[in-house]
Amino acid sequence: MKKKIPSDEEIKKYSHKKMTEPLLEHASEETIEEVWKLVKKLASYARVPGTLADHKKMAVFAEKDAVAGVVLDTLKDMGYPFKNTDFIPDIAGYYYCISLISQSMHRRDETIKLFHELLDHAIDIQSDSALPLARNMEALSKDYPDLAELFEKAKIIYKMDAIRSVREWVPIQIDKLYRGYISAEKTEEEYINVADPQDGKVVVDVDEKEYVVRITENGKDIFNKNFKHYSYDMIVYAVVRDVLLRKHMEEMQIEDIADTRVVEAMRADLQKLYGDIAITVNNQELSYIMDGYEKYDNTNLPQEVRSYLEELYNDPDLKDALLFECDIEIGDAAWVKEQEEDDSWFEELMGTGESSYKNMKPFAHDGVGGLWVVLNNEMIGYIGTEGECGIIARNIHEFMNIVAVHRGYIDDLLSIDLLKSKEAFLEEYDGPNESDYSKEYNRFIKKHGFTKDVKKIYEYLIKGITMKPFFQVIATDDEYEDSSSMLGSDDGQEALEKLIEMLPSE
C-alpha cells in the first residue's frame, strides 16, 4: 500500500504548530506517514505533559524506532531553545517530543547525551522555560534509571525557578503601589532561606523540590507548610502581604503587626492588587493568615454538591490533586455565590443563545476559563471556552468517582474511538493512573465507597455523556454558532449522535 503523504493543504492546517515543519523536514519517504500521525497528535495538545499519564501518550510512537530517530534528529538540530524571556515555540509539541525520545531505547546514548547538553545549557543561562524538562525526567525516572540520574542534575532547575519567582514577582507587585520600595535583592535577602527570621515575618525556604513557607513567633515556627513550586502566585502573595504590613508598621511607627490600623491599610493595598476571589483563596490556603473552614451553606448548590466541595476545598492535598492533575479548580463559597448572582459568564462563554438546561450552577473551573456546572440540581456538565458543552455524569457522586479514578484531564476520555464500546475502552484504559496524590485519591475513594472497576467507570461515562436532552446551546444571534459536543469540534451534536449509533443496543 502506498504511503500516505500529507498534501500541502493538509500541512497548512498544522503549520501554526512550530514543531510541524521541523519534524516533516527530517522525515524520509519511509517514515513520513508515521511522522505525520505524530504531527497531528502533537497539534491536539495545548499543554505540556505533566502527569505520567500524559507522558504515556507518546509510548506508542516511542516504540517505533524510525519515528524516534526522526524526533531525535529534529531536537538535535534545534539546538538549545531555552532562551530567557523567549518562550519555546510550540512548547507543548516540543516537550511531548522530549517525552517521546525519553521512552525510546533507539539510539539511547545519543538521547542521554542530548539531555545532558540541554540541562547544562538551561542551568548555565538560568533558563526560565526549562521546568518541563526537569518534570519530564522526574515523571519517567521510575521506569528509566538513566533518567533518574539526569533528574538529580535537573533538580537545580526547580530551585532556580522557585527563587526567581519570589525575588522577581514580589517587587513587581509592590512596585504597582510603591515604586522602588523593595528590590529583588532585598526580597531574596529578607524572605528566602533566612536562617534566623524576624518574628512574625514570612520566610520561604527553597529546596530542590518544593517551597517550605514558615512564620516564627518567639523563635518558634507557628506555621510551616510545604508547597509545590508551581504554587508561585500563592507564595508571592504571602510575601507581598508581609512586605505591605512591614511598610505600614514602619510609616505608622507601630510595632504590633496585628494592629487594626496596620491590617486595614494592608488590606486596602491588597484590594488594589488582587481580586476578592484571589485574596479569599490565598488566605484560606495560607492558614496562618486566616484560619477557617470553607462552607457553602450560603450558596444555592444542592446539599450533595456542597458536601463534596467542603470536603475537597478544606483538604489541601485533595484540592491540589484535582487542580494540578485534573485541571479542576474548586471555587470557594464567595466565587460560587458570585456566579449565582451574576450569570454574565454564560454569554461570555457561549454567546447569545438558548440552553437546553435553564438551571445551571457553576461550582468549579479549569485553567482556561471553562466551567463545571450542576444541571437541574443533579447532573454534572461542562461549558468550555471553544463553544463546546456537554454532560459528563448523571450526578456528583459518579462525577467524583470518575475523577478520583481517572486522575487526569477529563477530556482525555472524551473520544469516540475510546468510548465506542466497552472493549475499546478496556483496551486503552486499565484503571487508575499513577499519581503523586495516589494516597489522597485512594483515601477519597475508600471514604465514599467509590468503585475502581473500569467497566463501571465506562458505564458512568456513557450514561452521563449520552443523557437526553443533550446539553447544548442554540445560537439566537447570527454572530454565533450553536454549541458543539465535547466529543467533536464545530459539528453541533453530530459527534455525540455518531457515538450513540455505534454503541451496542442494551
From the CB of residue 406, how many other CB atoms can be counted at a distance below 10 Å?
A: 22
- What's residue 450's pLDDT? 95
At residue 288 the predicted structure's pLDDT band, cuts being 50, 70 and 90, is low
Cell numbers found for residue 219 = 523563635
At residue 386 the predicted structure's pLDDT band, cuts being 50, 70 and 90, is confident
Backbone angles phi, psi at 211, to 5 degrees: -90, 145
Continuous H helices in 176-231:
184-191
3-state SS, 447-459, equals HHCCCCCHHHHHH
pTM, whole model, 2 decimals? 0.53
- What's residue 151's pLDDT? 92
In the predicted structure, residue 1 carries a pLDDT above the cut 50:
no
* Cα 212 to Cα 193, 223, 288, distances in angstroms: 9, 10, 13
List the chain domain ranges: 8-143, 163-285, 303-502
pLDDT tens digits for range 363-375: 999 988 899 999 9
In the predicted structure, residue 500 carries a pLDDT above the cut 60:
yes
